[in-house]
Amino acid sequence: MKIFPVFLGMRGCPARCVYCDQDKISGAPDLDLKATIAQIQDFITRNAGLPKQIAFYGGSFTALDRDFREKLLGSVLEVCDSFTSFRISTHPLFVDHDILDWCAKWNIKTIELGIQDFNDEVLKQSCRGYTGKQAWEAAVRVKEKGFELGIQLMPGLPGWSPTSLAENHTRLLELKADLLRLYPLVVIRGTALEKIFHAGQYKPLDLDEAVTQCADYFPIAEQVRTRIIKLGIPSNIDAKEIVAGPWHPAFGELVKAELIARKVLSINPQEEAATLSREEIRMLKAHGGKALDKVQKWFEHNT
């Protein structure tokens, strides 16, 4: 599936979460509709005959004014072919039955919900404006209406605990979402979270903790055939805007290296040989860090 991303920044967001500054996180300029349509037309032409999506990220698409939504989608549809559908990201409070019927009418096939966490206390401390039950019900509605469901979670939110983490794991197993994005929380300059951090009231995950927590989602997602499609915030963010937290330009590769290490460490050398593909070896050498150390020690001990 070919995807053309359109970033909406804070458009449609009903409130400002403690951690959020979408304009800095996306690294994208304000939306220039005329230029965007021209880029989409080129994208459609280059991928003629192939399944593709125009994806509206950031903000809360279904919370936008309906006239604006329809003008935006209508303008895009003028240059689309029959192989093109839409993907949106939105807020869990803005996917009632009427809105979902509207989405189906406008050829929206994939809906990603910025749930971030299913735990009530974590959601409260993050100023998300909804409960875990409301987030769950929103996700269920999206699935029941036949859309491809994406879930966005943020490890390391204020108030998180092993209990809240386990709750997220359980919810993921129960929901059987199609897609999952994991964005470990970082402290962005100018946000309310920065003030909380400097006041000593919030401690972000360190890089190893974030890698571990994200890696832990993989076997859970595999059980229910949920595809993890993104790990970490965009690498093109200005690093000077990050005050603290587990940001790394190759965060996804660190998680994959950790998974390779876990694969090796799970092997009983008396029963099977440990073999790694060229790609796995390359990944460990390039991004292994502590994961590479684990693998090297395993081979030293068992060969």
- Give CATH for domain 2-248: 3.20.20.70
Determine the pLDDT at residue 220. 98
Per-residue confidence (pLDDT) for residue 24, from 0 to 100: 52
User: Could you report the per-residue pLDDT of 84-134, keeping only the tens digit for each?
Assistant: 999 999 999 999 999 999 999 999 999 999 999 999 999 999 999 999 999
φ/ψ of 135, rounded to 5, equals -65, -45
Give the per-residue pLDDT at 269. 67
Please state the three-class secondary structure of 187-255 as a single string. Answer: EECCCHHHHHHHCCCCCCCCHHHHHHHHHHHHHHHHHCCCEEEEECCCCCCCHHHEEECCCCCCHHHHH
Contact 207, 231 (CB under 8 A): no
Q: What is the pLDDT along the chain (303 residues), one digit of tens a residue?
A: 899 999 987 776 766 789 887 555 554 556 788 999 999 999 999 999 999 999 999 889 999 999 999 999 999 999 999 999 999 999 999 999 999 999 999 999 999 999 999 999 999 999 999 999 999 999 999 999 999 999 999 999 999 999 999 999 999 999 999 999 999 999 999 999 999 999 999 999 999 999 999 999 999 999 999 999 999 988 778 888 999 999 999 999 999 999 988 988 887 766 666 677 778 877 777 776 778 777 777 776 776
What are the residue boundaries of the structural domains of the chain, listed by start?
A: 2-248, 250-303
**CA separation for the pair 26, 57 (Å, rounded):** 9
Instruction: Provide the pLDDT for residue 41.
Output: 95
Whole-model pTM over 0.85: yes
| Residue-level pLDDT at 11 | 74
Q: By the 8 A CB rule, do 184 and 210 touch?
A: yes
Q: What is the pLDDT of residues 54-77, one digit of tens each?
A: 999 988 999 999 999 999 999 999
